[in-house]
């Protein structure tokens, strides 16, 4: 029964800041349990999973419930979100560079019979770092809407 409530609350609060998430979670839990108690008393039954499900169904989908709250993320929440995004970009970049490197290695091996034409030196590393920094910079400009038309 509590698992159903916790699952619903976590879906509603997943995109909220940490402080707001705590407040909204308490508010929702109180509302759900109070409503379940009222419905159970009205029907003269004990609170069970079906009663909790009825309350949650009346509240609407988690997305609908979350839309009733304005998002209030703290600065630290925003920093954590940005770090997660940078980490995601970094992982994708490493995977793509590795795949390109493997494809080039195989292509050179097939075409020339050897792959010693492909060298991993400091210049190559510098070029990859510059490309990575450009990708991160474009991402930050897009997120910060520096070049927005408004």
Going residue by residue through the chain, which has 150 residues, state the pLDDT in tens, using 9 for 90 and above.
578 899 999 999 888 877 788 889 999 999 999 999 999 999 999 888 999 999 999 999 998 888 888 776 777 777 888 888 889 989 999 898 888 888 888 887 888 887 676 666 778 778 888 998 898 888 777 776 555 554
What is the rounded CA–CA span in Å between residue 8 and residue 82?
A: 26
106: Cβ–Cβ under 8 A, 6 or more apart, which residues?
Answer: 115
76 touches 30 (CB < 8 A): no
Neighbour-count burial of 128, counting CB atoms closer than 10 A to its CB (0-12 exposed, 13-18 middle, 19+ buried): middle
For the chain, domain boundaries: 2-66, 75-144
């Amino acid at each position: 029964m509590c698992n159903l409530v916790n699952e619903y609350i976590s879906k509603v609060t997943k995109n909220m800041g940490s402080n707001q998430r705590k407040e909204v979670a308490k508010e929702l839990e109180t509302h759900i349990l109070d409503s379940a108690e009222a419905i159970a008393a009205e029907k003269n039954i004990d609170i069970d999973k079906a009663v909790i499900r009825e309350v949650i169904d009346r509240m609407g989908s988690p997305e609908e419930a979350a839309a009733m709250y304005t998002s209030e993320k703290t600065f630290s929440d925003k920093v954590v979100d940005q770090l997660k995004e940078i980490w995601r970009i970094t992982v994708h970049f490493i995977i793509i560079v590795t795949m390109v490197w493997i494809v080039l290695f195989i292509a050179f091996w097939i075409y020339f019979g050897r792959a010693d034409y492909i060298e991993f030196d400091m210049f190559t590393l510098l070029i990859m770092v510059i490309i990575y920094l450009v990708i991160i910079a474009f991402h930050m400009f897009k997120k910060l809407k520096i070049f927005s038309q408004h």
